[in-house]
Structure 1
Amino acid sequence: MTALIVVMWVSTGAAQTLVSYSPVGDAIPTSLTGQPGDALRGRAIVVNRQKGLCLLCHTGPFAEERFQGDLAPTLAGAGSRWNAGQLRLRLVDSRRVNADTIMPSYYRIDSLNRVGAAWQGKPVLTAAEIEDVVAFLLTLKE
């Protein structure tokens, strides 16, 4: 089996630099930033209807949030179903796990269709934001 190295964007303030990672099976086992994410910031991204848009398709343990989606699996129990690496790959590029998914690639900028001008060449979430969401999803055990 050959190793695949994928190069993605990481936002570091105003500048953007490249980071490489190697998917292993159905996961990206190492942090994109080299640091663990912050679960509180991750939760804020998940429930934010302008940033992550997660609740457009997913439901979860967010009693204060109205109109949660039902097009995708519930986020409740995500931390029991998947490990950090599996969650990271699903956020970065879920098409690697399911070619027919409707979930957007939150951290990929190449080979995308119908990307708005303001988003061209930019990931939806930064590497740090991906790690924050992973950290939060890992807390959802039930």
Structure 2
Amino acid sequence: MTRFAIFAATASLCATSAAAEIVKPTDVTFVDGVIEASLTGTPGDPAAGAEIMDKGAGNCIACHAVTELDHLGFHGEIGPPLDGAADRWSEAELRGIVADAKQMFDGTMMPSFYRVDGFIRLGDAYTGDAHQGEVEPLLTAQQIEDVVAYLMTLKDE
């Protein structure tokens, strides 16, 4: 029974320290638009990142084309194609761009996916009313890491 108690306590401490590693949107440090360290301390999952690229929270392909994801249908042309993204930007640069592209690209229309403050006029979905309560980021810290992991697979051949 003592070994079980020690194991349970160790597992609990590990879970607590892992949860403590998540950087809140308000605590993110950008240096010239770049976020050097992981937001979670956990590697991103490229497969999960590819799913986020489609409709839903990320919906990256609404603005960007990705040849590998042609099976998903409509791809936008507002943003640059993401083919070869890993050759153009480092992992830290991609993390900064996905989290809040406005830190790197002044005037961009790309949404800030990991930001919760500083908005000029935040609405309540499609109601026409002002937002009430706390603002949640469009993507979680782990979703940011997943998208970055997927983008790091997009290399020119």
Structures share a fold, TM > 0.5? yes
Candidates 138, 142, 147, aligned match of 1:133: 147
Deviation of the 1:113 alpha carbon: 3.5
Candidates 89, 93, 102, aligned match of 2:109: 102
Aligned residues: 127
For the residue of structure 2 that corresponds to 1:135, the secondary structure is: helix
Cα distance in 2 for residues equivalent to 1:102 and 1:17: 24
TM-score w.r.t. the length of structure 1 is: 0.81
- Alpha-carbon deviations, 1:62-99, whole Å to 9, x = none? 12021100011001101111111100111111111112
Bigger Rg over Cα:
2
1:59 aligns with 2:65: yes
For the residue of structure 2 that corresponds to 1:139, the secondary structure is: coil
Q: How does 1:6-45 map to 2 (within 5 A)?
A: 18=24, 20-45=27-52
Deviation of the 1:24 alpha carbon: 2.4
Structure 2: state its 5+ residue gaps: 1-18, 126-130
CA RMSD of aligned residues (A): 2.1
Deviation of the 1:17 alpha carbon: 7.9
Candidates 113, 120, 128, aligned match of 1:113: 120
- Alpha-carbon deviations, 1:2-60, whole Å to 9, x = none? xxxxxxxxxx7xxx98363322233101000011100000000012x122111111001
Structure with the larger helix share: 2
TM-score w.r.t. the length of structure 2 is: 0.74
2:32–2:103 Cα contact (<8 Å) kept: no
Structure with the larger strand share: 1
1:86 aligns with 2:93: yes
Cα distance in 2 for residues equivalent to 1:25 and 1:134: 18
After superposing the two structures, state which structure 1 stretch, 124-133 or 17-26, moved more: 17-26
Q: Give 4+ residue runs of structure 1 displaced > 6 Å after superposition.
A: none
2:114–2:137 Cα contact (<8 Å) kept: yes
After superposing the two structures, state which structure 1 stretch, 76-85 or 16-25, moved more: 16-25
For the residue of structure 2 that corresponds to 1:100, the secondary structure is: coil
